[in-house]
Amino acid sequence: MSQPTSSSAGPVVALRDVHKSFGSLKVLDGVSFEVARGEVLAIIGRSGSGKSTALRCIDRLETIESGEITVCGHRVSDPKLPLRALRLDVGIVFQSYNLFPHLTIEENICLAPVTVKGRRRAEARETARRVLGQVGLGDKLDSYPEQLSGGQQQRAAIARSLAMEPQVMLFDEVTSALDPELTGEVLRVIEQLAAGGMTMVMVTHEMGFARRVADRIVFMHRGKVWETGPATILEAPETAELRQFVGSGL
């Protein structure tokens, strides 16, 4: 089996001049950014600016037309890349949690480690307990998804990703489907992961959260990285577009 080469120096995620269209619609227009090991990158921008597409390209849920993407040493832009090896290194969590309703939380979390990684069931259960503890759901092993709140289900979805021990985690607006009173508990979990050194790329509209947690911000506009830098760019935007975006409170 191909081993990740991510222990070597260099960025964990690198996009170079990535172009992507849907039909005649140019969605990524020369996007480049890098994420170093242990770094947290927040992608912000208006709806339709290409944030989700950029994130999905990292996990090859979308293919690109030109440019180069490498993730944990895998050449994602190579059409012959074995996806299994890539997906073992990348965890992705979406707005919708997609837990299996007929499985308990523990079974949900054990599924991929057992079926994909060939872990023994006892070992997978051990891991499930650990990751559920990490997201504050140590007492929900035997619950079914429907017995959990939206915030708890999203935390379980994060735990499910963590159980695969990814090198990098991708989050796409993971709190946007939640009632405001439930977003905090999910953001706290992500913040703890960041503090623990997890490499992360997160698309978020939670600007306060991005400011606090992100090492670097990418502001996307019309399929381009319009502005990028440390969180301080939100205080002093150089472009009118970022100034307007920050000012709009979105």
Residues that bind ligand ADP (CB under 6 A): 22, 25, 27, 45, 47-53
How far out from the chain centre does Cα 32 lie? 17
- 148/246 with CB nearer ligand ADP: 246
Instruction: Assess 53 for contact with Mg ion (CB under 5 A).
Output: no
Position 52 contacts Mg ion (CB under 5 A): yes
Rg (CA), the chain: 18
CA distances from 74 to 12, 52, 83, 173 (A): 10, 20, 9, 25
Q: What is the DSSP string of 76-112?
A: TTSTT--HHHHHHHEEEE-SS----TTS-HHHHHHHH
Give the separation between CA 132 and CA 47, rounded to whole angstroms. 32
| Share of the chain residues as helix, strand and coil, in percent rounded to the nearest 5 | 35, 25, 40
Which entry of ligand ADP, Mg ion, none binds 152, CB below 5 to 8 A by partner kind? none
When CB distances are held under 5 to 8 angstroms depending on the partner's kind, the choice from ligand ADP, Mg ion, none that residue 22 binds is: ligand ADP
> Which is closer to Mg ion, CB of 6 or CB of 52?
52
Pair of tokens at residue 208: 């306060």
Q: How far is the CB of 225 from ligand ADP (least distance, A)?
A: 12
**Segment near Mg ion (CB under 5 A), from 48-56, 113-121, 160-168, 180-188?**
48-56
Minimum CB–partner distance for residue 51 and ligand ADP (Å):
3
What does the alpha-carbon distance between residue 95 and residue 178 come to, in Å, rounded to a whole number? Answer: 9
For Mg ion, the closer of residues 130 and 205 by Cβ is 205
Q: Which stretch binds Mg ion (CB under 5 A): 49-57, 106-114, 160-168, 204-212?
A: 49-57
Nearer to Mg ion, 45 or 73 (CB): 45
**Interacting residues with Mg ion (CB under 5 A):** 52
